[in-house]
Chain A
Amino acid sequence: MLGKLFQTSKNKEMKKSILGIIISLLMLQFVTSCKKYLDMEHFFKDRQNIDTVFARRDYTEQWLADVYTHLRGPNSDVGNKNDVLSNFLSDDMFFGDRIKDGRFSNSEYKNFKNGDYNEANWQESWASCYQGIRKASIFIDNVDKNRQMTPDEIIDRKAQARFLRAYYYWLLIRKYGPVPLVPEHGLDYTESYSDLSLPRNTHDECVDFITSELALAAKDLPASLRDSRNLVRPTRGAALAARAKVYLYAASPLYNGNADMADLVDDKGRQLIAQQYNEEKWARAAAAAKEVIDMGIYKLYTYPYHAESQGPDYPPTIVPPFNAKYSNANYPNGWKDIDPMESYRALFNGNVPFLGNPEIIFSRVTEIGSQLTTDLPMHQAPYSLNGWNTYGLTQKQVDAYAMNDGSDVPLNPRVSGFTANNTSHLPLPANVSLQYANREPRFYASVAYSGSIWYRTSINLISEREKQIFYYRGLADGKQPASPEFYIRTGIGIKKYVNTLDAAFRSTPEGGYNVPKTEPAIRYAEILLIYAEAMNELSSAYNVPAYDGNGSISVSRNVSEMSKAISQIRIRGGIPDHEPAIYASREALRKSIKREWQIEFLAENHRYFDLRRWKDAPVEEATPVMGCNMDMTANQRDLFHTPVIIASLPTIFVKKMYLWPIPHEELRRNVRLTQNPGWTNPY
Chain B
Amino acid sequence: MNKKVLLTILCLLCAAFPLAAQTAAPENMVQIPAGKFWMGRAYTIYTDSADLVPIDKLDDRPANNIYLDAFYIDKYEVTNADYSKFLQATPGTKPPWHWPQGKIEAGKEKLPVYNVNWFEATAFCKWAGKRLPTEAEWEKAARGGLDRNHYAWGDADIDTTEKYLQAPQGAGRLNNDEPIPAHLSGTDAKPVGTFKPNGYGLYDMIGNVREWINDWYDASYYLFMPKRNPQGPETGRYRDVRGSGWLDAPPNTVGGPSDNNTVDTRDFSDPDLRATTIGFRCAK
Whether chain B is bound by chain A comes out as: no
Identify the B interface with A (CB < 8 A).
none
